[in-house]
């Protein structure tokens, strides 16, 4: 995942910044940013490109532009220049970015479109990716499976810690883990529900609240067998 992201970031460094760097290094210094309509729209289009590449990597759009900046610049190879996040050339301010609640869409516009002679309600919306959107959604789903597995195993670890501190006795309910072992109950990323815990005569089980949402018959951690994943039979 990290290698893919670094290749992805490296590609974007070339794609989105090569023009700006070439101008900086090879051309006479301009008096300032291009504040024409063409210059403004070019910067806005660059921002949209960065949002769309983020979507292809994550399956959703970023919650904020700060998160977008972190995604592009937190894992750059040593010596690489930071990827510049475009700003409005007239005001020098960030573009106005509003993601949808489910982060599957957004609106993007200038701080003040009228400064470019555009209507006040001017906005850009997501690119239609067609089948590529399905790829992004599948990748996002795979990441949620990994996150759910991590949650289940983390809860199991805290159950073991509880038993170690209580003469080998496992908790009867998840509530006994609060607040010393778990500060808050992690929720399944697909269903938004709490994970299930069941004490057994000789152990315990931590499981997904609805494994069918993952296309699984069984998605749990057993104290005797470890992580257990069983795919639903094809109909």
Report whether pLDDT(22) > 50: no
The pLDDT, as a whole number, for residue 59 is: 75
Please give the pLDDT value at position 214: 84
**112-116: average pLDDT:** 92
Decide if pLDDT at 188 tops 70: yes
Helix (H, G, I), strand (E, B) or coil at 205: strand
Q: Which residue has the tokens 């296309």?
A: 215
Cα–Cα distance, 133 to 56 (Å, whole number): 7
- Confidence band of 3 (pLDDT split at 50, 70, 90): very low
Nearest partner of 114 among 87, 140, 138, 88, judged by Cα? 88
Domain residues of the chain, as ranges? Answer: 2-127, 135-231
pLDDT of residue 159: 96
Q: 34-38, 147-151, 160-164, 206-210 — which is least confidently predicted? A: 34-38
Examine the pLDDT at 199 and tell me if it is beyond 90.
yes
Say what the pLDDT of residue 20 is.
41
**Residue of higher predicted confidence among 71 and 151:** 151
Give the DSSP letter of residue 104: S
């Amino acid at each position: 995942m990290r290698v893919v992201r670094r290749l992805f970031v490296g590609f974007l460094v070339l794609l989105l910044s090569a023009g700006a760097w070439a101008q900086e290094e090879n051309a006479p210094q301009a008096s300032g940013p291009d504040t024409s309509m063409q210059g403004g729209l070019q910067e806005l289009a660059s921002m949209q490109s960065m949002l769309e590449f983020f979507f292809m990597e994550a399956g959703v759009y970023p919650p904020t532009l700060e998160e977008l900046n972190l995604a592009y610049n937190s894992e750059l190879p040593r010596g690489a220049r930071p990827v510049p996040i475009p700003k409005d050339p007239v005001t020098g301010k960030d573009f106005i970015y509003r993601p949808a609640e489910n982060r599957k869409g957004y609106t993007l516009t200038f701080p003040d479109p009228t400064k470019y002679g555009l209507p006040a309600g001017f906005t850009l919306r997501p690119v239609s990716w067609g089948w590529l959107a399905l790829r992004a959604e599948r990748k996002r789903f795979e990441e949620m499976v990994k996150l759910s597995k991590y949650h289940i195993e983390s809860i199991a670890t805290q159950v073991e810690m509880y038993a170690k501190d209580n003469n080998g006795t496992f908790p009867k309910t998840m509530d006994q883990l609060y607040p010393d072992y778990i500060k808050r109950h992690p929720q399944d990323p697909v269903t938004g529900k709490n994970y299930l815990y069941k004490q057994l005569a000789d152990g315990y089980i931590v499981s997904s609240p609805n494994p069918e949402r993952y296309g699984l018959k069984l998605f749990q951690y057993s104290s005797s067998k470890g992580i257990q994943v069983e795919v639903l039979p094809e109909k």
